[in-house]
Structure 1
Amino acid sequence: MASSSSATSGALSLGSIPPAGADLETTWKFLESGIDHIMCRLQAGMSYSTYMSLYTTSYNYCTQSRIQGHVGLGGGGEGAGKSGASLMGSDLYNKMTKYLINHLMSVREGAESLVDEELLQYYAKEWTRYTTGANYIHRLFAYLNRHWVKREKDEGRKGVYPVYTLALVQWKQVFFNHIQSKSAKLANAVLRLIEKQRNGETIDQSLVKKVVDSFVSLGLDETDTSKQSLDVYREHFEDPFLQATEKYYKHESDAFLSENPVSDYLRRAEERLKEEEDRVERYLNSCTRKTLILKCEDVLIRGHAETMREEFQTLLDFDKDEDLQRMYALLARIPDGLEPLRKKFEEHVKKAGLSAVVKLVGEPGAGGAAGAGAETLEPKAYVDALLEVHRKNSETVTRSFRGEAGFVASLDKACREFVNRNSATGASTTKSPELLAKHADALLRKNNKVAEEQDLEGALNEVMVLFKYIDDKDVFQTFYTTKLSKRLIHGVSASDESEASMISKLKEACGFEYTNKLQRMFTDMSLSKDLTDQFKARMEQSHPEDSDMSFSIMVLGTNFWPLSAPTNDFHVPKDILPTYERFKNYYQAKHSGRKLTWLWNYSKNELRTNYLNQKYILMTSSYQMAVLVQYNDFDTLSLDELVNATGVGKEILTQVLALLVKAKILINEEKEQYDLNPNFKSKKIRVNLNQPIKAEVKAESTDVLKTVDEDRKYVIQATIVRIMKARKTMKHQPLIQEVISQISQRFKPNVSDIKKAIDTLLEKEYMERVDGTRDTFAYVA
């Protein structure tokens, strides 16, 4: 017996289950004993059969079909007209309510003298035990919940809940409200614990989470218990928590900035924001995240935004990438936080670009004139300086500002400013496109050092980086076309693949029309090669005696090649006259109606010396060749005699002769008298005498810009006609704006030029003024 007693000493004994039809007192006495055990000991020592006997007792009482003896307690007159089952349910519900109130009063007493973490530990422990027990009891009264509670709620009775919800309501009213009424004792204890954590102390985060979760669980929707309300959480915890957070970080950030540099504050603010994000994940309700982070951003970032921005320039100047990344990430979190930085960055880039050019050419002169070194400026040095500024700041945008569109726009705007207007360009908008085109020309020539030192394709891509910022793309186009024509004529292109690649890049940037002439030039080169081969084959048959003279001829379309005919009346030397005449006749027979204009100023020749012991091959221009062949018949000639013999103007010929004298082919010991040098010597067998003539180089730039001006007139007129044809009628100012909009990708048109074009089109009757108006035009079909 002793053994048996020992084995069952921890088990719960409730006695015999009340019979069906037992009265309220008998029934409740049996239920209360089991309920009390559950609420205090969480089913410890309770068998499944015991638990089921409690369930059966509750079920039996709620399903009685008639009143046993007297009206149930708590039913009162309210029960009149209702069924016995209804009254019995009411009695049982009232008993359960009174039990919970009494139970919670004893729990409340245990918390009276506790504060801070001890209070939280007690609260969390009791909350866990209470809610777990309430869950078990809720299932004991399943029938009551499904039938009596449901019926009461359906009939509109207030203050009736399923048993688990009833338990939460009582916890809130009896225990929670009492503690909170004492200077928000519970919430303040939580806030003090959180502040300890913010100060670097380790806290029991699971304890905070349990307490905070209880605030959420106590949010009950009185009208619909299936819904969760956050009113209790917000009123008793979230609102004071946010106020405490604002106060804490305002004090901390002010104190920190007064003693530490801004770069350290950026790190601190970044860490604090991450901590608060983590705090939400660990023990706050997710609904608090947005409000909490906005509050922290307001205090930590917006409150010190101006101080951060004042440091921005210093960070840029000293390339403090990590600090820039932090400042960007922080200020990006507040509305309009980045705009002041974008403006400062734009000014920084612009200043860097202008300074880079000043280092090359010096400060700009008076009235916006170019710097002193602008005339001798090397295109490569200029382009490299601009690219370095772009590269460095583009990396900053990518690395520090995450490639954000606003900073990309600031970079582009600044680059457009210093690329088009700087101390090398002065007031001219054509200088940058000219230098960029010349740099591209140098890249695409044979044996250029730039292409040897680095990847040519990469160098061409860098040209396109600056090309994007050029305002006057038509100036670049015309210079580029002129340079390309010379590369093709003189056979000095690095490769056809590189030429095609560059044209493809320009086409992608500006469209088919922009590169149409460039592509037609290559077509002409191919056709010219075929034509030369055909002519040579004909000559080998009909004039084999001339086989010792090799030649090639290029026939180029006037509309596609930017080539100007010589202004002098060049005399074709007798040595090449037969070949010249034969080709002219051959071509005119093949293409009747076409006129050939001979461009001697672009032609080149090779001569072999026969008057020296050493044989040399002299590479010359046609003008140099025309001079030198005169010395087949004479040893000395005057300037006037050479002018008459060659037909080349005196100004050009003087420079031609100066190059020959410099190379020591000719001797100029007497004024305007030129002798053949019988003692000429050179280390090279092939001697290149064909050097650019200054007058021709200067004329090239002048001619290009003149061509650009003429082309612009027609482009503006054609654009106006196209717009008017589509719109039929248009006012003066909108028309000008539309023209600028359509042309600006090609060049920046002057309003005065647009007005002149309108006047020209009015004169030509492409358009007319609308009767009765001063500023409205109509298209004339």
Structure 2
Amino acid sequence: MTRNREPVPLEVGWKQMEAGTKKLERILDDEPGVAFKSDEYMKLYTTIYDMCTQKAPHDYTSELYDRYKMVLDKYITDTVLPSLREKHGEFLLRELVLRWKNHRIMVKWLSRFFNYLDRYYIPRRSIVGLKAVGQSCFETLVYDELKATVTSIVIAMIDEDREGQIIDRTLIKNVLDTYIELGQDLTTEHQPTRPDSGSKLYSEDFQDAFRQGTVDYYSKKAQTWIVEDTCPEYMLKAEECLQKEKERVAHYLHSSTEPTLMEAAQGELLAKLIDQILKKENSGCKVLLCDEKVEDLSRMFRLFSRIKDGLPPVSKIFQEHVNKVGMSLVKQAVDAATSKKNEKKDVVSALELDYVRKIIDLHDKYMAYVLNCFQNHTLFHKALKEAFEVVCNKDVAGCTSAELFASYCDNILRKGGIEKLSDEAIEENLDKVVKLLTYISDKDLFIEFHRKKLGRRLLFDKSGNDEQERSLLSKLKQHFGGQFTSKMEGMLNDICAAKENQAKYDEYISTNPELHPSVDLSVQVLTTGYWPTYKSSDINLPSEMVKCVEGFKEFYQSFKKHRKLNWIFSLGSCHIVGKFDVKPIELILTTYQGALLLLFNEAEKLSFSEIATQLNLSEDDTARVLHSLSCGKYKILNKEPCSRTISPNDIFEFNHKFTDKMRRIKVQLPPSDEKKKVIDDVNKDRRFAIDASLVRIMKSRKIMTHQNLVAECVEQLSRMFKPDIKMIKRRIEDLITREYLERDVDAANSYRYLA
């Protein structure tokens, strides 16, 4: 049934609405005992509804929409603005927060009374909704007038907070929430502004000014602190300030403020003063490194990692410091070796080993800095690497780092070395040495020195532990590739096979008594390609030794018919009993020394030339052996004339009166210069490597310019050694001569590959 009703005149209905509005204002003023009852609310809602649904000319929808805004404007003009204009400072902020809160309540109630407009009239006309109108009224009449003043008050309060004064943080948060809420777009309620996105008003009217205020504040502070404080004190204050700015964002600023706020603070505290901070006199980065101020260095990394291009200057200073300390160790080692140059070889070796230990300790120390202070950052790894590449490629007292590291490995792996380490410590030291080897340019030189020393350890049973030897080879293989360790792996395998062969030989001799020699024989059969080249000569052995050699040959040929044995007597050793007048003494000698002494069983005196002829030895080898027996620590032979040098005219006689407190002595040969041979071998291998690299490159490219060919060759080979440009040029010329390459007649300074 349709309800028949009289049209409600506009002014009559509006008087009821005004009465409701007045009551709403009293409620907002916290007047006691004033509240809307449900029937009052329904009456006002129904009145608006009726006035909007009446037929023309009594449809007052448009007029009511306009009067809705008038109500809000009048309330703001008559009540809100006067109360705000009489307040100042913090009181103004409190009043603003209160008035904005009340305004939202008023808009909420009025929107309910005028709900019909929101539901039907506004969507049909596509005009601004009631809540958006309410927000716009407050923004236009209140916010636009007060925003500059309010922003200044808020920034001043934040500066007070920075100075350590107590402020009302909740008040600031509420004020800034006003900026954000007023800046939200309410024209489309189904697409609300994300709560974490901030707002245009907050960004333009507060955030930009706040950023400038932050710049001004920290600019003054930084200029004062950089003059008054040391570098650590300055960094401590800067870090504390930045931490508090981060906390400010959490307490009362919008999250969108953090990037711009931190950028502004970091810019003034760090970026603009980076050189002054790092190079601060008596307390800058260099001093912190020298004084090992780990905590301060960690803080420095944390701070400068925040700013763009903040870490490169720190890493550069770190690199320079490590380089300086490393070069100081090199100088100390050179000075020590120079002062001890006339000392025994063992003393000099100990100094060299001490230098390697110090380099290892230095690397450990600064690697700890990289891992802990500098948080494993690649920039500092690079700085450490470049610093140690300079230090580790310096020669010390005529020894390259390659030789020193090889000697160090030999010392810790050899029985009776200077270093007395546990198995765990040996493993740890080997790891560290291999890490340092990545810095040296002549890695192939280390490999060759190590192979030479490994050979001596294995052949003379001086290796402490086969597992440790294999462990080092495994580490080297991992870093440098299998082609550089395959020979040494073969050497270890040869020694294992030699032990098996010796057991078979002993069994063979025991089952063939007619072959049993008068002396015991131990033989190690080595594969030629694996081992370093050793000096070999056709020495005339004594008959006792010849019988041993022939017996072993017969044994070996019984199961290795197609293998040829090449005897290297220069590496052999023997035990001979010397029958002296006082007492017999067992002599531990080289094969050459033993063969020479046995000549004196047939003659009392022999000349230099007679000895050389009978043994079939070169003059150099004969002189070296005779020197060890007549001019060294043990004078088993008497020499005429008596002197410290051996000459071709000397006469030698067995010293029957020789004696020693020991029952067994080892007579050492004078050390030979193995270094030169190792370097020559490496240079020869390098020539082959350069040839192979050049041919490999040209085979794939066919035609290349000289500059590009040299550059690519250097790049390919630099993993193991730094090739000399002049040597590369010589190898190119040699390859042209051998018709692997030819000069390209059509292109200047280019080469063509000849298939």
TM-score, reference length from structure 2: 0.89
**Which residue of 2 is the match for residue 705 of structure 1?**
679
Aligned mates of 1:364, 1:693 — CA distance in 2: 21
Aligned length, in residue pairs: 725
Amino acid paired to 1:174: L
**Which residue of 2 is the match for residue 41 of structure 1?**
27
Moved more, 578-587 or 51-60: 51-60
How far the C-alpha of 1:187 sits from its partner, in A, is 1.5
SS in 2 for 1:295: helix
Aligned mates of 2:313, 2:120 — CA distance in 1: 66
Asked if structure 1 preserves the Cα contact closer than 8 Å seen for 2:706 and 2:749, the reply is yes
**Which residue of 2 is the match for residue 76 of structure 1?**
none
Aligned mates of 2:40, 2:682 — CA distance in 1: 101
Aligned mates of 1:730, 1:757 — CA distance in 2: 15
Asked if structure 1 preserves the Cα contact closer than 8 Å seen for 2:94 and 2:171, the reply is yes
- Deviation per CA, 1:80-100, whole angstroms, max 9, x where unpaired? xxxx4xxx3323222221111
**Which residue of 2 is the match for residue 728 of structure 1?**
702
In structure 2, do the counterparts of structure 1 residues 95 and 564 end up closer, same or farther at CA, with 3 Å as the change threshold?
A: same
Aligned mates of 2:747, 2:562 — CA distance in 1: 51
Report whether the alignment pairs 1:66 with 2:43.
Answer: no
**Which residue of 2 is the match for residue 93 of structure 1?**
65
**Which residue of 2 is the match for residue 687 of structure 1?**
665
Asked if structure 1 preserves the Cα contact closer than 8 Å seen for 2:403 and 2:445, the reply is yes
Structure-to-structure mapping, 1:306-325, within 5 angstroms:
306-310=275-279, 311-325=284-298
Aligned mates of 1:323, 1:96 — CA distance in 2: 64
* Structure 2: stretches of 5+ with no match in the other structure: 642-649
**Which residue of 1 is the match for residue 692 of structure 2?**
718
How far the C-alpha of 1:138 sits from its partner, in A, is 3.1
In structure 2, do the counterparts of structure 1 residues 692 and 336 end up closer, same or farther at CA, with 3 Å as the change threshold?
A: farther
SS in 2 for 1:91: helix
SS in 2 for 1:452: coil
In structure 2, do the counterparts of structure 1 residues 120 and 424 end up closer, same or farther at CA, with 3 Å as the change threshold?
A: farther
Amino acid paired to 1:303: K
Report whether the alignment pairs 1:272 with 2:241.
Answer: yes
**Which residue of 2 is the match for residue 601 of structure 1?**
570
Amino acid paired to 1:693: P
In structure 2, do the counterparts of structure 1 residues 673 and 179 end up closer, same or farther at CA, with 3 Å as the change threshold?
A: same
Report whether the alignment pairs 1:407 with 2:397.
Answer: no
Report whether the alignment pairs 1:122 with 2:95.
Answer: yes
Aligned mates of 2:510, 2:337 — CA distance in 1: 62
In structure 2, do the counterparts of structure 1 residues 659 and 136 end up closer, same or farther at CA, with 3 Å as the change threshold?
A: farther
Structure-to-structure mapping, 1:731-750, within 5 angstroms:
731-750=705-724
Aligned mates of 2:376, 2:172 — CA distance in 1: 41
* Structure 1: stretches of 5+ with no match in the other structure: 1-17, 72-83, 154-159
Aligned mates of 2:221, 2:255 — CA distance in 1: 25
**Which residue of 1 is the match for residue 157 of structure 2?**
193
Aligned mates of 1:320, 1:20 — CA distance in 2: 91
**Which residue of 1 is the match for residue 144 of structure 2?**
177
Match of 1:206 among 170, 186, 197: 170
**Which residue of 2 is the match for residue 81 of structure 1?**
none
Match of 1:327 among 274, 280, 300: 300
Amino acid paired to 2:234: Y
Amino acid paired to 2:150: L
Match of 2:482 among 512, 519, 529: 512
TM-score, reference length from structure 1: 0.86
How far the C-alpha of 1:681 sits from its partner, in A, is 4.9
Aligned mates of 1:502, 1:755 — CA distance in 2: 36
Match of 1:761 among 724, 735, 742: 735
SS in 1 for 2:361: helix
In structure 2, do the counterparts of structure 1 residues 393 and 175 end up closer, same or farther at CA, with 3 Å as the change threshold?
A: same
Amino acid paired to 1:284: L
Match of 2:746 among 745, 767, 772: 772
**Which residue of 2 is the match for residue 491 of structure 1?**
461
Moved more, 455-464 or 611-620: 611-620
How far the C-alpha of 1:150 sits from its partner, in A, is 1.4
**Which residue of 2 is the match for residue 74 of structure 1?**
none
Aligned mates of 1:517, 1:197 — CA distance in 2: 73
In structure 2, do the counterparts of structure 1 residues 266 and 374 end up closer, same or farther at CA, with 3 Å as the change threshold?
A: farther
Amino acid paired to 1:486: R
Report whether the alignment pairs 1:479 with 2:449.
Answer: yes
Match of 2:129 among 162, 170, 194: 162
How far the C-alpha of 1:774 sits from its partner, in A, is 3.1
Moved more, 577-586 or 641-650: 641-650
Asked if structure 1 preserves the Cα contact closer than 8 Å seen for 2:151 and 2:206, the reply is yes
Aligned mates of 2:545, 2:6 — CA distance in 1: 136
How far the C-alpha of 1:742 sits from its partner, in A, is 0.3
Moved more, 96-105 or 474-483: 96-105
In structure 2, do the counterparts of structure 1 residues 121 and 636 end up closer, same or farther at CA, with 3 Å as the change threshold?
A: same
SS in 1 for 2:134: helix
- Deviation per CA, 1:396-433, whole angstroms, max 9, x where unpaired? 222222221111111101100111025545xxxx7110
**Which residue of 2 is the match for residue 263 of structure 1?**
232
Structure-to-structure mapping, 1:647-662, within 5 angstroms:
647-661=616-630, 662=632
In structure 2, do the counterparts of structure 1 residues 535 and 545 end up closer, same or farther at CA, with 3 Å as the change threshold?
A: closer
State the identity as a percent.
29
**Which residue of 1 is the match for residue 74 of structure 2?**
102
**Which residue of 2 is the match for residue 501 of structure 1?**
471
How far the C-alpha of 1:624 sits from its partner, in A, is 2.1
In structure 2, do the counterparts of structure 1 residues 537 and 612 end up closer, same or farther at CA, with 3 Å as the change threshold?
A: farther
Amino acid paired to 1:168: Q
SS in 2 for 1:596: coil
In structure 2, do the counterparts of structure 1 residues 618 and 219 end up closer, same or farther at CA, with 3 Å as the change threshold?
A: same
SS in 2 for 1:605: strand
How far the C-alpha of 1:724 sits from its partner, in A, is 1.2
Aligned mates of 1:676, 1:135 — CA distance in 2: 125
SS in 2 for 1:668: strand
In structure 2, do the counterparts of structure 1 residues 138 and 620 end up closer, same or farther at CA, with 3 Å as the change threshold?
A: farther
Structure-to-structure mapping, 1:196-235, within 5 angstroms:
196-221=160-185, 226=191, 228=193, 230-235=199-204
- Deviation per CA, 1:71-122, whole angstroms, max 9, x where unpaired? 5xxxxxxxxxxxx4xxx33232222211111221201111112111111111
In structure 2, do the counterparts of structure 1 residues 333 and 300 end up closer, same or farther at CA, with 3 Å as the change threshold?
A: same
Match of 1:340 among 296, 309, 313: 313
Asked if structure 2 preserves the Cα contact closer than 8 Å seen for 1:664 and 1:677, the reply is no
In structure 2, do the counterparts of structure 1 residues 177 and 422 end up closer, same or farther at CA, with 3 Å as the change threshold?
A: same
How far the C-alpha of 1:479 sits from its partner, in A, is 0.8
Report whether the alignment pairs 1:151 with 2:151.
Answer: no
Report whether the alignment pairs 1:622 with 2:574.
Answer: no
In structure 2, do the counterparts of structure 1 residues 379 and 99 end up closer, same or farther at CA, with 3 Å as the change threshold?
A: same
How far the C-alpha of 1:139 sits from its partner, in A, is 4.1
Aligned mates of 1:136, 1:636 — CA distance in 2: 133
Report whether the alignment pairs 1:539 with 2:509.
Answer: yes
Asked if structure 2 preserves the Cα contact closer than 8 Å seen for 1:360 and 1:373, the reply is no
SS in 2 for 1:455: helix
How far the C-alpha of 1:524 sits from its partner, in A, is 2.1
In structure 2, do the counterparts of structure 1 residues 423 and 600 end up closer, same or farther at CA, with 3 Å as the change threshold?
A: closer
Report whether the alignment pairs 1:557 with 2:530.
Answer: no
How far the C-alpha of 1:676 sits from its partner, in A, is 4.2
In structure 2, do the counterparts of structure 1 residues 213 and 565 end up closer, same or farther at CA, with 3 Å as the change threshold?
A: same
Asked if structure 2 preserves the Cα contact closer than 8 Å seen for 1:196 and 1:202, the reply is yes
Asked if structure 1 preserves the Cα contact closer than 8 Å seen for 2:509 and 2:515, the reply is no
Aligned mates of 1:638, 1:264 — CA distance in 2: 83
Aligned mates of 2:669, 2:173 — CA distance in 1: 85
Aligned mates of 1:540, 1:66 — CA distance in 2: 135
Aligned mates of 1:590, 1:185 — CA distance in 2: 106
Moved more, 709-718 or 255-264: 255-264
